[in-house]
DNA sequence: CCTTGCTTCTGTAGTCGCTACAGGATGCAT
DNA sequence: ATGCATCCTGTAGCGACTACAGAAGCAAGG
């Protein structure tokens, strides 16, 4: 059984975030020592690693909750995981598309400022009706 | 002079967000009617439109504050606007790059789930050491 | 004038996912 | 015992909103 500091180092999740995940019910309450310190077994560490990887992939907490539930062994797991993954992939692709459009608009706008001018074309455009 | 509801419709910024911007000092305090209702002139409406456009382009509030200050007429305005714009453009490009990497990792992962399996390869990978 | 329905006000709290204290207790090595 | 590191709970804050609750104001219609 391992204290939270060691678990933080081994999982890559900060102590404060581990406590946050516990409060939010993302991970179960760990065992405690006689003095009240959190003690995690290897399954607890693996679970936090899982959560970290999912967060790194941009899955929201709610999806991670669902994935963890699915990981508890059920014959439909893989197709459900695929549903969650594909929806998230779509979200990511949408976001990339949005940002790409935004980038183009911004690049055009910024290109109009190329010297010191009393009447900035960018500001004029942003103020236009 | 126009009440907040009309200004919200004409600027595209919600009533609540207008009040938020006022609280945050993004836009100046408007005049008030005898009964305390906010009244905006055309400059106030233009300013909110400006803020909306900047938000749509992803500029953070702090940058918008700076841009509004610059719009008050100063001979260095355009080069300062360019600095703010280019920095933001870099941020957007960084974010696109991050998301593109994430999308690739996610697409690979999701591709591994293609039928009902008791032992999902995705979950296994996310749990791997 | 009264009623009705809509608009507007202030203050407070919440969203998401953390992150950072403050103040106190515990654990371990010297 | 001392000193330092670790850990605890509770609270507040970040950015940019968003959504009430409860009350007051406004304008049109009867």
B80-116, pLDDT tens digit by residue?
Answer: 899 999 999 999 999 999 999 999 999 999 998 876 5
Question: Is the CB of residue A94 less than 8 Å away from at least one CB of chain B?
Answer: no
Domains, chain A, ordered by start: 1-72 (1.10.1660.10), 74-129 (no CATH)
Confidence of residue B33 (pLDDT cuts 50, 70, 90): very high
Task: Give residue A115's pLDDT.
Answer: 64
Q: Is A53 in Cβ contact with B113 (below 8 Å)?
A: no
Rounded Cα distance, B110 and A64, in Å:
15
Give me the residue from A54, A58, A103 closest to B93, CB to CB.
A103
Helix (H) and strand (E) counts in chain B: 6, 3
* pLDDT, block means (10 residues), chain A with 129 residues: 95 96 96 95 96 96 94 76 94 96 94 74 88
Rounded CA Rg of chain A = 23
Confidence of residue B73 (pLDDT cuts 50, 70, 90): low
Give me the residue from B93, B100, B113 closest to A78, CB to CB.
B113
Confidence of residue B128 (pLDDT cuts 50, 70, 90): confident
Of chain B residues 3-42, which have a CB less than 8 A from chain A?
A: none
DSSP label at A1?
-
Question: How many CB atoms neighbour CB A33 within 10 A?
Answer: 10
Q: Is A102 in Cβ contact with B78 (below 8 Å)?
A: no
Confidence of residue B75 (pLDDT cuts 50, 70, 90): low
Q: Is A106 in Cβ contact with B92 (below 8 Å)?
A: yes
Nucleotides of D under 7 A from a protein CB: 6-10, 15-20, 24-26
Q: Is B57 in Cβ contact with A102 (below 8 Å)?
A: yes
């Amino acid at each position: 059984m391992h204290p939270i500091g060691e678990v933080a180092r081994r999982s890559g999740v900060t102590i404060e975030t581990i406590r946050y995940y516990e409060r939010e019910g993302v991970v179960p309450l760990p065992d405690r020592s006689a003095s009240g310190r959190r003690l995690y077994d290897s399954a607890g560490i693996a679970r936090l690693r899982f959560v970290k990887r999912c967060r790194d992939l941009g899955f929201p907490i709610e999806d991670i909750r669902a994935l963890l539930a699915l990981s508890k062994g059920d014959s439909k797991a893989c197709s459900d995981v695929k549903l969650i993954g594909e929806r998230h992939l779509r979200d990511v692709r949408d976001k990339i598309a949005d940002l790409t459009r935004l980038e183009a608009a911004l690049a055009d706008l910024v290109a109009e400022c190329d010297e010191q001018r009393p009447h900035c074309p960018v500001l004029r455009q942003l103020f236009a009706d």
